[in-house]
Structure 1
Amino acid sequence: MRTSTPRLNLRVIEKSDYPELAALMDLVFHDVGGSWPRMTIMDLIHQFPDGQICIEDDGKIIGAALTIKVDYNRFSLPHVYTDIINENNVIQHQPSGDALYGLDVFVHPDYRGLRLGRRLYEARKELCRNDNLKAILAGGRIPGYHKHASSMKVTEYIEKVKRRELHDPILSFQLSNDFDVKRIMRHYLPEDDSSCGYATLLEWDNFFYEEDIDSVHDIDKTLIRIGIVQWQMRAVRSVDDLIDQAEFFVSSLSNYKADFALFPEFFNAPLMGLRREQNSVEAIRFLASFTEVIKQRFAELAITYNINIIAGSMPELRDGMLYNVSYLLHRDGTIDEQDKIHITPHEKRDWVIDGGNQVKVFDTDAGRVGILICYDSEFPELGRMLAEQNVQIIFVPFWTDTKNGYQRVRLCAQARAIENECYVAIGGSVGNLPRVDNVDIQYAQSAVFSPSDIYFPHDATIAEASPNTEMIIFADVDLDKLKQLNTEGSVTNLRHRRLDLYGGFTQPK
């Protein structure tokens, strides 16, 4: 009998629990043979004690989960019950297995409705994560199928259960606990008349699983520190003057162990003031003459200060055409670049800049990153193309003159973070350059945004700068939270895309 106010405790099963455990199995599994022999339970406890879990109410066992380890490659394929427990009731536990196999989960009928089964499943998932195993597999009975076997195929029955048009006592529960049906297995348990001998092969993937590694240096970083320079536009006397200013910020970010330093779009615009009496087209091409030097100097800073630098953007001349280009200077000396794809009317009209044709994701030692330069962040297609290449952080160097323009970048960046389940960092410039045509004023409030779910800040903003003030900001982002969001979030935008309706954006290679 259930107590009026349960006092629950979750623990591992001990050998002395067998009589109570057997009585509970007889009660729950009366239609498929009842309890397992004492020898089988003792063997389970001996071989894999952590996998045998129970819930007790005031000292009485009211639910349990029995689990073994198996080889994923073998048991992710069709099999039968006797491959797991042979005719002599010997459990086929594999101590070196790379996956868990769920043997049984059962709860006393008087305690159903308290979601105790979910607690047991969550404990299994935690064990899977802690032991760095690939997945949880299970052969799932479908005891409701016998009522419909004469009118529908088993595949149709499973589909209707998925669509919640029908309820199956076991399959419905498994699906609600994030398991996917991978296969149908015939003759899994022939004596299971309720399931007509069928079972589903169920799988829950551990997205935190990491392949065996030989060195600590092979471990991917998951906690990443982003640094952003909210850059003050000011007159400079030379390229060295500009680099000195930049190095001060890079050094400061490095001292705080930042993995990335983000600079704004056209942060080098003050150099246009070195030559007076130029029209706007001449001035931007004059600025482009410094780009290669600045790129190489920033590459040296990245190595010297052990930090990856997103060098905002700078104009670059290629084959007589001018592009707005952002450079990713890796701390190992590698240099990547991303062209701005969408050119603003101002850039096209006053500077005659052309747009690029490819958006890329870059592998770094601190995650997979993409770059959308200012206006590009306002086009959701580009963010989705990055997401389809498994981007984790999108950097948005921007330059906006008014708060209206800034709000477009900010709000669109937040949307990109939510819809693509990634972090987005925006970095802009402040101040004014009264002697430089078309770059006279700036407005910025740099920030780092997250998806909007329980794993992240309530306003989906991890850090933000003071408006229109020169400063640096830091934000620590956890890449593992993105994996958890993708599979267990309140909503899962990427998994719920209607590719049958609108397809994907990236082109197959």
Structure 2
Amino acid sequence: MGSVVTKRGVRIRRWRPEDLGAIVACQKAAWPEYPEGEQYGRRTFQLAFAAFPEGQLLAEVDGQVVGYATSVIVDMPAPLEEYSFDELTGRGTFSTHTMAGDTLYGADIGVDPAWRGQRIAAKLYAARKRILEKHNLRRMVAFGRLPGYGAVAHRMKPETYVAKVRDGSLSDPALSAQLRAGYEVLAVRQDLMEDSASAGWATLIEYRNPRFDPRKRPHQRPTAERQWSRARVCAVQWRMRDGVDLKAFTETATFFASVANEYGCHALVFPELVAAPLLGSLADPSSADEMRALAALHDAYVQLFRDLATSHGLYIVAGSHPVLRDDALYNVAHLMTPRGNVYTQDKLHLTPTERDLWGFTAGEELRVFQGPFGKLAMQVCFDIEFPEPARLLADAGVDTIFVPFSTDDEAAYLRVRLSAHARAIENVVYLALSGSCGNLARPTYHLNYSRSAILTPSDFGFPPRAVAAEAPAHEQTVAIADLDYTLLDHARSAGSVLPHRELRHDLYELRPLHRVRTFVLDDDR
């Protein structure tokens, strides 16, 4: 969840340590009738923040905290009715938080009374839903107060009160906001908390994530580096053909995204210069100018693949595309996340055609991207033929390298393919290669040869020939495989050979001349 400033000037963001005092004060203002012993206090809020910083949200106006929300991810195999607050929070320690869970538990939420009526609670609930979607969680649950019920408890049952709030004939400071946020009341209980304003009653409420996809929740064993222990990856093999306009290009890209989603994939990779088929629809640029002409479509390219990533819940390596910066032309790989954020990696090593004919400039920085299935990187085609960058990436903790490539004949393809396989074996990493086949009536794209593939290290447990999936030549298709990161960890620590442990630092040394930067995907801090 990113920092969001609404039209009313209300900013929704994550907590910072220095916010805790203001959050405690906001809770006391929001629920003054709540028993002192039942309020969280600074220590409890500290524990929630330490357990899951992303789930602790606040609303502020001009630096003043006017609302807050706490939540953690929990594993709840039994129905909500079978749990208590202490069971879901570890007696208020929030030790129950686990990224392997499928449920977001909303522990507390409140709005300063002076700011009620500004839909601040709705904004906090919307932020929780973004967490739900980001982590593909099944549902959001909570135990809800009924602070308006105590005043009418002498004349109606709690079920009747809930029904009247639901149909709009009554309003409740807590339940009304929850119903507007899309929660459903599963039951009411009297044994959850001491709360005189609610006459001791509470609701059990649930919001089901409409975008939840069970296929994209593999068995997980979270580590410090990864939230997932498995990921399903789809590598595209795109057929280049003439007569393609932006509409036809969009249809093909959408087809592949739909295929990846249908097969429950988490990541999708497209080829290098994937938009090359659009060259024929441009104003017939010369070979020397065609990449600059293609760069003019960069905004449309980004928008297309960003929309596909968000609509299908995919991490998409959208191949590469020409990008103009300060009149210099770069061949840039793009990564789009399900949240709609975009990350890039310049191609570092250029072929003679790229440098001398197209006028590309080589990039100067290696980048690492931390995501839910560990650290990943992008190396564009010729880059993977150099062992040094891949080793630096492996030293930085990368588990998966995505390689968009474009090669014209089998010899060129084998240079990429065999080099990539060497990188997988020597660094004990996974590589996903995506290339193009077919023909274009342009001198620089007459021929295209590829076999998109997903490559693994070579050891016990990995597929035969260390190939997890491979596309046939000359066909527009995909290669799909599951990547097991637990197996990768085992190969690194107890494999038949341990390349990282046997490096001869007394004979040679490899170090980056520029810092290898790490970007946390969808980081909101």
What's the RMSD between the two structures over aligned residues? Answer: 1.7
Tell me, yes or no, if the aligned pair for 2:430 and 2:454 is still in contact at 8 Å. Answer: yes
Instruction: Give the whole-Å Cα distance in 2 for the aligned partners of 1:495 and 1:427.
Output: 31
SS at match of 2:445: coil
Aligned to 1:361: 368
* Percentage of pairs with the same residue: 38
- Whichever residue aligns with residue 359 of structure 1, its letter is L
Change in Cα spacing, 1:372 to 1:212, as seen in structure 2 (3 Å) is farther
Instruction: Give the whole-Å Cα distance in 2 for the aligned partners of 1:212 and 1:387.
Output: 33
Instruction: Give the whole-Å Cα distance in 2 for the aligned partners of 1:333 and 1:291.
Output: 16
| Stretches of structure 2 lacking an aligned partner (at least 5 in a row) | 1-94, 103-134, 136-221, 516-525
Moved more, 327-336 or 316-325: 327-336
Aligned to 1:504: 510
Q: Does 1:483 align with 2:482?
A: no
Q: Does 1:474 align with 2:474?
A: no
Shift, 1:282, TM fit: 1.8
Q: Deviations over 1:355-399 (max 9, x none)?
A: 000111111222211111000010000100110111111111110
- Whichever residue aligns with residue 329 of structure 1, its letter is M
Change in Cα spacing, 1:507 to 1:237, as seen in structure 2 (3 Å) is closer
Instruction: Give the whole-Å Cα distance in 1 for the aligned partners of 2:458 and 2:512.
Output: 25
Out of 417, 420, 442, the position equivalent to 1:410 is 417
Q: Deviations over 1:5-50 (max 9, x none)?
A: xxxxxxxxxxxxxxxxxxxxxxxxxxxxxxxxxxxxxxxxxxxxxx
Instruction: Give the whole-Å Cα distance in 1 for the aligned partners of 2:268 and 2:425.
Output: 23
Q: Give the TM-score taking structure 1 as reference length.
A: 0.57
Instruction: Give the whole-Å Cα distance in 2 for the aligned partners of 1:489 and 1:507.
Output: 31
Instruction: Give the whole-Å Cα distance in 2 for the aligned partners of 1:458 and 1:311.
Output: 29
Out of 278, 298, 301, the position equivalent to 1:294 is 301
Bigger relative contact order, structure 1 or 2 (CA pairs below 8 A, ≥6 apart)? 2
Instruction: Give the whole-Å Cα distance in 1 for the aligned partners of 2:353 and 2:432.
Output: 24
Structure 2 matches for 1:132-171, cutoff 5 A?
Answer: none
Q: Does 1:383 align with 2:390?
A: yes
- Whichever residue aligns with residue 416 of structure 2, its letter is V
Shift, 1:264, TM fit: 0.4
Change in Cα spacing, 1:214 to 1:297, as seen in structure 2 (3 Å) is same
Moved more, 269-278 or 341-350: 269-278
Aligned to 1:229: 236
Shift, 1:236, TM fit: 4.1
- Whichever residue aligns with residue 492 of structure 1, its letter is L
Q: Which one has the largest radius of gyration?
A: 1
Q: Does 1:240 align with 2:247?
A: yes
Tell me, yes or no, if the aligned pair for 2:388 and 2:510 is still in contact at 8 Å. Answer: no
Instruction: Give the whole-Å Cα distance in 1 for the aligned partners of 2:493 and 2:512.
Output: 22
Shift, 1:472, TM fit: 1.3
Q: Deviations over 1:267-300 (max 9, x none)?
A: 1001111135421122111101001211122111
Tell me, yes or no, if the aligned pair for 1:486 and 1:495 is still in contact at 8 Å. Answer: no
Tell me, yes or no, if the aligned pair for 1:430 and 1:469 is still in contact at 8 Å. Answer: yes
Tell me, yes or no, if the aligned pair for 1:243 and 1:294 is still in contact at 8 Å. Answer: no
Aligned to 1:306: 313
Aligned to 1:338: 345
Change in Cα spacing, 1:212 to 1:486, as seen in structure 2 (3 Å) is farther
Structure 2 matches for 1:198-237, cutoff 5 A?
Answer: 213-215=97-99, 216=101, 219=222, 220-237=227-244
Instruction: Give the whole-Å Cα distance in 2 for the aligned partners of 1:321 and 1:508.
Output: 21
Shift, 1:307, TM fit: 0.7
SS at match of 1:313: strand
Tell me, yes or no, if the aligned pair for 1:330 and 1:364 is still in contact at 8 Å. Answer: no
Tell me the matched-pair count: 298
Tell me, yes or no, if the aligned pair for 1:444 and 1:468 is still in contact at 8 Å. Answer: yes
| Stretches of structure 1 lacking an aligned partner (at least 5 in a row) | 1-210
Q: Deviations over 1:168-209 (max 9, x none)?
A: xxxxxxxxxxxxxxxxxxxxxxxxxxxxxxxxxxxxxxxxxx
- Whichever residue aligns with residue 496 of structure 2, its letter is S
Out of 424, 434, 437, the position equivalent to 1:430 is 437
Tell me, yes or no, if the aligned pair for 1:236 and 1:242 is still in contact at 8 Å. Answer: no
Q: Give the TM-score taking structure 2 as reference length.
A: 0.55
SS at match of 2:384: helix
